[in-house]
Amino acid sequence: MGLVTPELGTFIWMFLAFAIVLFILKKFAWKPILNALKEREESIEDALRSADRAKEEMAELQADNERILQEARKEREAMLKEAKEMSSKIVNEAKQKATQEADKLVESARANIESEKSAALNEIKAQVANLSVEIAEKILRQQFADDQQQKEYFKKLMDEVKLN
Amino acid sequence: MKSIHRFLLIVFFIASALTAFASDEHDKHAHHDTHKKEKFEPGNFIMDHIADAYDWHILSYKDKHVSVPLPVIVISEQSGFHMFMSSKFHHGHDAYKGFYIAQEGEFRGKVVEKIDGHEVRPFDISMTKNVVAMLISMIFLMWIFISVAKAYTRRKGQAPKGMQSLMEPLILFVRDEIAKPAIGEKKYEKYMPFLLTIFFFIWLNNLMGLVPLIPGGANVTGNITITMVLAVFTFIITTFSGNKNYWVHIFNTPGVPWWLKFPVPLMPLVELMGVFTKPFVLMVRLFANITAGHMIVLAFVSLIFIFGQISPMLGYGTSVISVLFVIFMDMLELLVALIQAYVFTLLSALYFGMATEEHH
């Protein structure tokens, strides 16, 4: 029966020793360990939370960036379009102006040419008249060198006039 | 912190050195009258190995006994206070100052003295094998966990390392799987030191009980007095942390017909009995589980000697089977060591949880 009978002496030893060990371990082991564990868990939790927050912020930032990029793209497109329009307008205007100018030039050139041409023609006409007079003179001089011929020609001319 | 750590280390080494300094000079004139072969009695053999003792037996060869003597401290009604080493008993064969170790009867294995022809137990606060083993395990426990705690303060915010990383999952297990679910998130912290202490104390002693060599081999958690103290602590803490709701539950159990409480307070009596049976069951469960495991192992070992007495060859043959069974049992006991520590801690936590539960 000794096995199941508690011993007072052992009880006293165990009770005292256990109480002391419980106290010492509580003060020097469990408190620091549990506090450290708790602290670490909290710091991990904090880190996770802040990581989450950072992720969210990142996403937000990314969305912002995307938006800004989109806007920029739109703006660029608009600008490009405007520029294109502007340039085409300018080109058109220039073209029109150039055409007008060219037309004017051509017109004035034509007028010039026309006037030059008429002047030249007049001159040529005068020259031709002079020349023909000279040539006629010369021919006449030659033909009418002898009197015979003069008389003949005169006669002929007179005949012609008669016919008229 | 550091000085405490060093002190524990020194005490631990002195304790181990003392236990290693085992040989006993008195063995030289060991008892010649025991030369004749005694009949092997498995019952006594098993009991002697399970029960507490006044010296720490290491081995016996023929009639030489090697054991560590331990201090015997007794206060006799007649002759007062005595303190001497257990080696004075010469392994239980001699009397010293009128004290001797009873070989038979009610006080078998205990120090007794004869007063008026009757065997009487003096007031006995000897440092027996279990007491010394318990103290060694406690020093070991403090050494481990104070150094772990130091590691936590030294390596703040870093990943655990070495002993720290071995103990951390266990500490977290006690906290997250035992204390938090059983007591609740709000109140568990107050009970953590006690729960951790009993968990590791029981587990360590269960394991040390499996080691057959000094400083293991003592059946500390299989000693009813040790488990009784643990259960008493649980009882005291439960009783003192009981809130109004807990006592109302005991003395005026809700949801029970009134005639069970008045005029005969049947329910309160049953509930009040429950207050005491809970720690009682804790005490018996741990004691019985550990003791039974040791008994089975010792029974297998006894088989060798029983068959060996019939014929030495039969003894050798049996030893093969017995050793295999002992190995199997030891493996099982390794598991039981942890399970019993867990169960004791879990049930204690549940009782604390009951005592602090709020009305809902």
pLDDT tens string B213-263:
777 778 899 999 999 999 999 999 999 998 888 888 888 878 888 887 778
% of chain B beyond a pLDDT of 90: 37
Res B360: pLDDT: 63
In terms of residues, how long is chain B? 360
Amino acid at B346: L
Measure Cα distances from B136 to A114, B132, B356 in Å: 136, 6, 34
Give the tokens for residue B174. 């006690």
Taking only the tens place, the pLDDT of each residue in B282-318 is 999 999 999 999 999 999 999 998 998 888 888 898 8
Res B126: pLDDT: 87
Res B8: pLDDT: 59
Res B195: pLDDT: 95
CA distance B74 to B80: 8
ipTM beyond cut 0.90: no
Taking only the tens place, the pLDDT of each residue in A109-133 is 889 888 988 988 888 888 888 888 8
Among residues 27-86 of chain A, which lie with CB inside 8 Å of chain B? Answer: 28-34, 36-37, 39-40, 43
- Is residue B6 very low, low, confident or very high in pLDDT (cuts 50, 70, 90)? low
Q: Are B138 and A9 in contact (CB < 8 Å)?
A: no
Residue B157: left if φ>0, alpha if ψ -120 to 50, beta else—which one?
left
Among residues 111-150 of chain A, which lie with CB inside 8 Å of chain B? Answer: none
Q: Is the pLDDT of residue B32 over 80?
A: no
Q: Is the pLDDT of residue B117 over 60?
A: yes
Output B94 or B30, whichever has higher pLDDT. B94
% of chain B beyond a pLDDT of 70: 89
Residues 6+ apart with CB under 8 A from B35: B63
Q: What is the mean pLDDT of residues B127-134?
A: 90
Give the closest of B106, B125, B152 to A12, CB-based. B125
Q: Is the pLDDT of residue B281 over 70?
A: yes
Taking only the tens place, the pLDDT of each residue in B143-201 is 999 999 998 888 887 788 888 889 999 999 999 999 999 998 888 999 999 999 999 99
User: pLDDT averaged over chain B?
Assistant: 84
CA distance B100 to A123: 173
Angle, vertex CA A86, rays to CA A80 and CA A91, nearest 5: 125
3-state secondary structure of B216: coil
Res B341: pLDDT: 95
- The verdict on B95 touching A (C-beta cutoff 8 Å) is no
Please spell the DSSP secondary structure of B248-307, one letter per residue.
HHHHS-TTS-GGGTSSS-HHHHHHHHHHHHHHHHHHHHHHHHHHHHHHHHHHHHHHHHHH
Which residue, B229, B1, B12, is CA-closest to B139? B12
Res B4: pLDDT: 59
Res A164: pLDDT: 59
Question: Nearest residue on chain A to B193, judged by CA atoms?
Answer: A26
CA distance A51 to B280: 51
Lowest mean pLDDT among A70-74, B62-66, B133-137: B62-66
Residues of chain A with pLDDT under 70: 1-2, 163-164
Q: Are B229 and A18 in contact (CB < 8 Å)?
A: yes
Residues 6+ apart with CB under 8 A from B42: B299, B302, B305, B306
Measure Cα distances from B89 to A163, B132, B142, B154 in Å: 199, 18, 33, 50
Q: Is the pLDDT of residue B112 over 80?
A: yes
- The verdict on B145 touching A (C-beta cutoff 8 Å) is yes
Instruction: For residue B123, list chain A residues with Cβ-Cβ distance below 8 A.
Output: 8-9
Instruction: For residue B50, list chain A residues with Cβ-Cβ distance below 8 A.
Output: 3
Res B25: pLDDT: 38
Instruction: For residue B172, list chain A residues with Cβ-Cβ distance below 8 A.
Output: 37
Q: Are A6 and B146 in contact (CB < 8 Å)?
A: no
Res B264: pLDDT: 79
pTM here is 0.74
Res B191: pLDDT: 93
Among residues 93-112 of chain A, which lie with CB inside 8 Å of chain B? Answer: none
- Is residue B5 very low, low, confident or very high in pLDDT (cuts 50, 70, 90)? low
3-state secondary structure of A38: helix
Q: What is the mean pLDDT of residues B4-24?
A: 53
Among residues 263-282 of chain B, which lie with CB inside 8 Å of chain A? Answer: none
